[in-house]
Amino acid sequence: MTSASINVPAGLAIPEALPATVLTDDAERYDVVVVGFGIAGGCAALEAARTGARALLLEKAAVHGGTSSMSGGHFYLGGGTAVQRATGHDDSVEAMVGYLMASTKDPDEDKIRAYCEGSVAHFDWLEELGFEFERSYFPGKAVIQPGTEGLMFTGNEKVWPFREQVAPAPRGHKVPVPGDTEGTRIVMDLLREQCEKAGVEVRYETGASNLVVDGDAVVGVGWRSFERHGVVRAGGVVIAAGGFVMNADMVARYTPALGSKLFTLGSTYDDGLGIRLGESVGAALEHMEEPFITAPFYPPSSRCKGIIVNRDGQRFVAEDSYHARTSYQVMQQPDAVAYLIVDSEHLGEDHMPLVPLKDGFETLEEMEAGLGMPSGSLVATVTRYNENAAGGEDPDFHKHPDWIAPQTAGPWAVLDLSLGVALYAGFTIGGMATTVDGEVRRTDGSVIPGLYAAGACASNIAQDGAGYCSGTQLGEGSFFGRRAGRHAAARAQVPSDAP
């Protein structure tokens, strides 16, 4: 241990890469070793095994599922899926590419195009696991559709300026379970069954501890299970071990916004170890500073017809935006203070305790004074909004006509969207830089032979909170996990004397 490493916080410590000499002649051998049994790791192991590869899956927890099992069950898919066609929604590969390119801060066109071109086939592959997305559509604004509807808008496709650049289409495909309970668990259970049928060996309560290298190539994995430990030889290693939201040291270094006043969305094992394993052999990291952070203020969807203002009484975002886009903008406001102003006609029942009701006011003047806003500011903002809304327009922020309505039916309610008051939740987005097939890249763009990454520890297409769409994590985690598993298996099964 060097003197410099002694001062490194535990959460930032990079495991030592082990030399190939630790792989003795009697060491276990697998074509592909996958680290982590979430959606990405399960799909990687299954695809590897289906090619005939001998696959081992290491899972630190006692059960499969990872953070994937905690999600609401959305898969972001498009280009003309069976659900889109059955519900009368036209979509194309080019439209899906266009939207993702336009809404992503630093888009990777190769990955986006591959994902969109393979989206319909991936939809079919998911259903072949043993379930079917319901051929139905939920038209309202919700975080998760309340019933078993198979399709809804889960991004900003209908939000300006995107709706003017690309024809909007809903792409949030949900597992057929009411609400957000146990949605993805069904998929993970089916994935586990398919892995068993394909011959994947799964070892629970066993985590990866080190990568084994021979020159510049990864050739194995060190593992630990309670007091036992060992090494296995691998033709390819796929790291799918989740993000780093539960690692306070990594959060403080990369995404400090997640470390204050937020509820973290993740499992115990989202500790960033997979990313640090990649760093141990020179993996480049991308978009590590980008978190997903949100405090949804709907349902009921009628609240999207209200007005969101900052502490100065000024609007700053279209209220029909996807909830993470709105939250992203809230955090850019002075002191991250924001309020949703909604009249009695559109308040509805309080179904979203994440954003508490602050107070009610008989007049806008009383509200303005009660919130400590500059004199006349809120009154002017609401008056202008109402005048334009009476004609079905919003020239300032271009809210979609579906969500424009004058807020004139007093008394008015104030919901507090401020950071530290509303319950914001988030997770990490950044991870290892990879090719379209999941090969991990170095900072110079070259690939690390034998090393792959997928899911939340890889940087794919969902790379910034403002442009995120619900379902992207499950969608791309499963899609790119499959690609990584196939590529790793093909590499491992090439004869060593092949040209």
The residue type at 204: Y
Q: Tell me: pLDDT of 348 over 90.
A: no
Strand arrangement of the beta sheet that strand 412-416 belongs to: 307-310, 338-343, 412-416, 357-361
pLDDT at 4: 44
According to DSSP, the residues that pair with 234 across neighbouring strands are 30
499 pLDDT tier (thresholds 50, 70, 90): very low
Greater pLDDT, 145 or 83: 83
pLDDT at 3: 38
334-373 residues labelled b (16+ CB within 10 A) or e (exposed): eebbbbbbbbeebbbeeebebbeebeebeebeebbeebeb
Q: Which CATH number, 3.90.700.10, 1.10.1740.10, 1.10.3720.10, 3.10.180.10, labels domain 296-422?
A: 3.90.700.10
The beta strands (E) that lie in 55-185 are given as 55-59, 74-76, 151-152, 172-174
350 pLDDT tier (thresholds 50, 70, 90): low
179 Rama sector, left if φ>0, alpha if ψ -120 to 50, beta otherwise: left
Strand arrangement of the beta sheet that strand 74-76 belongs to: 74-76, 172-174, 151-152
Tell me which residue of 316, 269, 280 sits closest to 67, measured CA to CA: 269
Tell me which residue of 274, 241, 238, 285 sits closest to 453, measured CA to CA: 238
pLDDT at 497: 47
Q: What mean pLDDT do residues 341-356 have? A: 84
Q: What mean pLDDT do residues 72-88 have? A: 95
Rg of the chain over Cα atoms, rounded to whole angstroms, equals: 24
Q: Tell me: pLDDT of 498 over 70.
A: no
Delimit the CATH 3.90.700.10 region(s) of the chain.
Answer: 296-422
Residue found by looking up tokens 């520890």 in the block = 457
Per residue in 431-481, pLDDT (tens digit) is 999 999 999 999 999 999 999 999 999 998 876 777 788 899 999 999 999
Residue-averaged pLDDT of the chain: 92
Phi, psi of 32 (to 5 degrees): -135, 130
Write out the H or E segment, with its range, that includes residue 52.
none
Query: What share of the chain in percent tops pLDDT 90?
Result: 79
Delimit the CATH 3.50.50.60 region(s) of the chain.
Answer: 3-70+183-292+425-492
How far out from the chain centre does Cα 232 lie?
31
Contact between 191 and 46 (Cβ < 8 Å)? yes
pLDDT at 463: 67
Domain 3-70+183-292+425-492 superfamily per CATH: FAD/NAD(P)-binding domain (3.50.50.60)
